[in-house]
Amino acid sequence: MASNVKLKHQNVPFWVIKLQEISTLIGKEITLEWRQRYALNGMVLYIVSTVYVCYLSFKLKTNQLNPITWNTLFWIILLFTAVSAVSKSFTQERAGRLLYYYTVASPQAVIISKIIYNSLMMSALSGLGFGFYAFVMNNPVQDVPMYLVSILLGSVGFASTLTLVAGIASKADNNGMLMPVLSFPVIIPMLLMVMKLSKNALDGLDRAQSLNEIAVLLAIDAIVVVLSWVLFPYLWRS
């Protein structure tokens, strides 16, 4: 199929075709999600109810929460949301449909489109989660734009790491248990970095001090995306 595409658009550069393929696949993901809205609504309800459970568990004395606990709790909520949101990205679709993608699209386009789509979904979910969390649990953040940047970087990082792991777990038989076991250790470096970054924002430190963390986060993201690009074709074949 790849060679067919090349023949058809001989004067269009290769990467333009790739980009078209990826954007088509992203469009497909969004359409699919919109058609079965219950999954998306379920995720929104998941994060909102988790935040509310935390709020009630602290016996409504959230103003006594110190900033470190506040920050850690928020990231743990996001981590669990990310794991359950991303793990459905391969199991949601039936085997027959996956076989169909296999014949029409390249594996790289599939994984990149899933990573981009999951990043978008996670950014939206965690932005919403932050809004609600700050609403009920007070908002001790001193540098809100920087905190939002850290949430964005964290969501993109979580989504890109978890997408490949979700692909791995979906191939196994009992993937419900496997997904957290496989993903938690892999995601910890990123979680530590993003918590440090958001702690800087929480304390309102000078932004120049956070550049180091941002660079490391972007580097880990780059490693993960490149690895997904290289490794996914092998996963796809089985």
**Cβ(142)–Cβ(183) under 8 Å?**
no
Distance CA 105, CA 97 (A): 12
Query: Rule CB under 8 A: is residue 217 a binding residue for another protein?
Result: no
At closest approach, how far in Å is the CB of 146 from another protein?
Answer: 19
For residue 165, give the nearest of 185, 145, 151, 147 by alpha carbon. Answer: 185
Q: Is 91 in the site for another protein (CB under 8 A)?
A: no
Return the sign of the alpha-carbon dihedral for residues 230, 166, 71, 46: positive
Contact (Cβ atoms closer than 8 angstroms) between residue 197 and residue 136: no
According to the binding rule CB under 8 A, does residue 185 interact with another protein? yes
Distance CA(96)–CA(128), nearest Å, equals: 34
Q: Is 17 in the site for another protein (CB under 8 A)?
A: no
Among 40, 65, 144, 231, binds another protein (CB under 8 A): 231
Please report whether residue 186 would count as binding another protein according to CB under 8 A.
yes
Q: Torsion-angle region of residue 60: left (phi > 0), alpha (psi -120 to 50) or beta?
A: left
Q: Does residue 56 interact with another protein by CB under 8 A? A: no
Among 192, 211, 218, 222, binds another protein (CB under 8 A): 192
Place of tokens 């794991």: 83
* Binding characters for another protein, 139-168, by CB under 8 A (x = yes): -------------------------xx--x
Q: How many residues are given for the chain?
A: 238
Comparing CB distances to another protein, the nearer of 24 and 72 is: 72
Minimum CB–partner distance for residue 76 and another protein (Å): 16
**Least distance (Å) from another protein to the CB of residue 195?**
12
- How does DSSP classify residue 105? S
Selected from 12, 56, 188, 211, the binder of another protein by CB under 8 A is 188
At 204, phi and psi to the nearest 5? Answer: 65, 35
Residues 130/58, Cβ–Cβ less than 8 Å = no
Task: Check binding of 235 to another protein (CB under 8 A).
Answer: yes
Of the pair 54, 187, the CB lying nearest another protein is at 187
Select the residue interacting with another protein from 77, 115, 166, 182 (CB under 8 A). Answer: 182
Instruction: Check if the beta carbon of residue 182 is closer than 8 Å to that of residue 203.
Output: no
Q: Contact positions toward another protein, by CB under 8 A?
A: 164-165, 168, 171-174, 178, 181-182, 184-186, 188-189, 192-193, 212, 216, 219-220, 223-224, 227, 231, 234-235, 237-238
